């Protein structure tokens, strides 16, 4: 993998991962990139320094801008296979050019005191490798969801961070989002009565041919799976944080049109149910071939609470219905990304366990695997 190629398109970037991920893991540091002057925008040097690993659309459009609202976190390094893109973003975010890394020289980040936390925003198939490399480099790790492609990889990530004495947090942004937090609080204090059922639906239309940056989502090696790993996990995680319980049984049905080239390696639509110890039944859907949906509804015996959208980036909407009708509580929007990043920073600064540690990611991946097993066998799977 050449870090000096100027023709590396996003597509090549991804193909390189798919084909050379193993090779890059043993590659040593390469020449530091370019030297244009830094335009540092963060003067609060007490903020923890984050290295962003992977500068895709999500990182650029959602997460990186959120640092501007952080109290305890700032971007101090960038890790990318696209030097031009990295340099451009470094200028925008005031990152010194010496703090730009490639995937080859990433391990040398261990010598950079400006980096406290490594935030991994790569396709899931690369999470284990980069988390372990970051931990070995003595850095705390914030890693995007889904945590990894397998339970074994999740365990290795947890072990690597434990061994290094570093924090590991999985970036479950919805657990830092005000409408979701408000929903959890209302359920907890009994506003819906006794919780009885949940429905949660997540869907999107993936278009890898129209949008090459989406290509990894339909590659098993990089994505770990299809819609379930990518977006169904929002439904799954929501059922757990809304109930405050761990499910005991899962079932699942899958449909993927195998004549559609998108679904040669990964699943399209998967519907799954979760049974919780209290008796709550959750019915979730996940699909890659429908228009966007990101919603859930929690039904108590006294009222129901709907978030639609529930897990968007902004502009959430809550409705509560009971025997007297419907109402839309006023809830203040907040930057879930900034809250999440600040939480990670606080956990490092105050030596606390993150709200969504590696174990939280592992729980979901165990359930994801159980859901895949249920879909494959047609049987209820105890978990």
List of residues contacting a second copy (CB under 8 A): 196-197, 199, 201, 203, 205, 249, 251, 253, 255, 257, 269, 271, 273, 275, 279-281, 283-285, 287, 289-293, 297, 299-304, 321-323, 378-380
CB of 122 to a second copy, least distance (A): 27
The catalytic residues are 145, 234
Q: Which is nearer to a second copy, 43 or 315 (CB)?
A: 315
**How far are the Cα atoms of 3, 5, 105, 204, 383 from residue 30, in angstroms, in the given order?**
8, 13, 5, 39, 46
What minimum distance in Å lies between the beta carbon of 284 and a second copy?
A: 8
Q: Looking at beta carbons only, is 138 or 309 nearer to a second copy?
A: 309
The token duo for 309 is 């959208």
CB of 34 to a second copy, least distance (A): 38
Nearest to 51 by CA among 77, 31, 74: 77
Of 162 and 301, nearer to a second copy (C-beta) is: 301
Q: Which helix (H) or strand (E) holds 272?
A: strand 269-275
Q: Is 323 exposed, middle or buried, given 0-12, 13-18 or 19+ CB atoms closer than 10 A? A: exposed
Instruction: Name the residue among 254, 291, 287 with its Cα closest to residue 372.
Output: 254
CA dihedral 284, 285, 291, 293 (to 10 degrees): 10
Residue 4 structure tokens = 């000096």
CB of 272 to a second copy, least distance (A): 9
- Pick between residue 130 and residue 288 the one whose CB is nearest to a second copy: 288
Q: In whole angstroms, how close is the CB of 183 to a second copy at the nearest point?
A: 16
In this complex, which beta carbon is closest to a second copy, that of residue 97 or of residue 249?
249
Question: How crowded is residue 352: how many other Cβ atoms within 10 Å of its Cβ?
Answer: 11
What is the full DSSP assignment across 117-177? EEEE-S-GGGHHHHHHHHHHTT-EEEEESS--SSHHHHHHHHHHHHHHT--EEEE-GGGG-
Q: Which residue is associated with the tokens 């929501």?
A: 238
Please check whether residue 341 is in contact with residue 144, taking contact to mean a CB–CB distance below 8 angstroms: no
Residue closer to a second copy (CB basis): 111 or 301: 301
Sign for the CA dihedral angle at 46, 49, 55, 58 comes to: negative
Q: What is d(CA 124, CA 225) in angstroms, rounded to the nearest whole number?
A: 9
The whole-angstrom separation of Cα 256 and Cα 287 is: 9
């Amino acid at each position: 993998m050449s870090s000096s190629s100027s023709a590396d398109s996003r597509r090549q970037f991804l193909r390189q991962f798919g084909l050379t991920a193993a090779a890059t893991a043993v590659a040593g540091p390469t020449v530091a990139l370019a030297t244009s002057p830094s335009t540092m925008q963060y003067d609060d040097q007490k903020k923890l320094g984050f290295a962003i690993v992977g500068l895709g659309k999500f990182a650029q459009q959602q997460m990186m801008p959120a640092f501007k609202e952080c109290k305890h976190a700032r971007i101090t390094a960038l890790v990318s296979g696209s030097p031009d893109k990295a340099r451009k973003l470094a200028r925008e975010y005031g990152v010194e050019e010496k703090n730009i890394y490639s995937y080859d020289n990433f391990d040398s980040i261990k010598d950079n005191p400006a980096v406290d936390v490594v935030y991994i925003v790569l396709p899931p198939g690369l999470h284990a490798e980069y988390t372990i490399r970051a931990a070995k480099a003595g850095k705390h790790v914030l890693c995007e969801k889904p945590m990894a492609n397998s339970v074994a990889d999740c365990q290795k990530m947890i072990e690597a961070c434990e061994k290094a004495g570093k924090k590991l947090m999985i970036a479950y942004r919805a657990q830092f989002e005000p409408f979701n937090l408000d929903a959890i609080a209302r359920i907890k204090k009994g506003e819906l009565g006794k919780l009885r059922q949940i429905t949660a639906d997540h869907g999107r239309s993936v278009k890898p041919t129209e949008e090459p940056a989406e290509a990894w989502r339909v590659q098993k090696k990089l994505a770990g799976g299809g819609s379930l790993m990518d977006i169904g996990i929002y439904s799954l995680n929501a059922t757990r944080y809304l109930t405050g319980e761990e499910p005991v049984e899962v079932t699942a049905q899958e449909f993927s049109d195998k004549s559609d080239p998108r679904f040669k390696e990964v699943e399209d639509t998967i519907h799954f149910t979760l049974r919780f110890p209290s008796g709550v039944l959750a019915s979730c859907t996940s699909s890659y071939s429908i228009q966007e949906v990101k919603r859930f509804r929690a039904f108590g015996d006294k009222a129901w609470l709907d978030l639609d959208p529930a897990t968007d980036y902004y502009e959430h909407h809550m409705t509560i219905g009971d025997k007297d009708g419907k109402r839309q509580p006023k809830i203040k929007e907040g930057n879930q990304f900034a809250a999440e990043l600040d939480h990670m920073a606080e956990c490092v600064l105050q030596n606390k366990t993150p709200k969504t540690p590696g174990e939280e990611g592992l729980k979901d991946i165990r359930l994801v695997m159980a859901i895949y097993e249920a879909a494959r066998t047609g049987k209820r799977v105890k978990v």
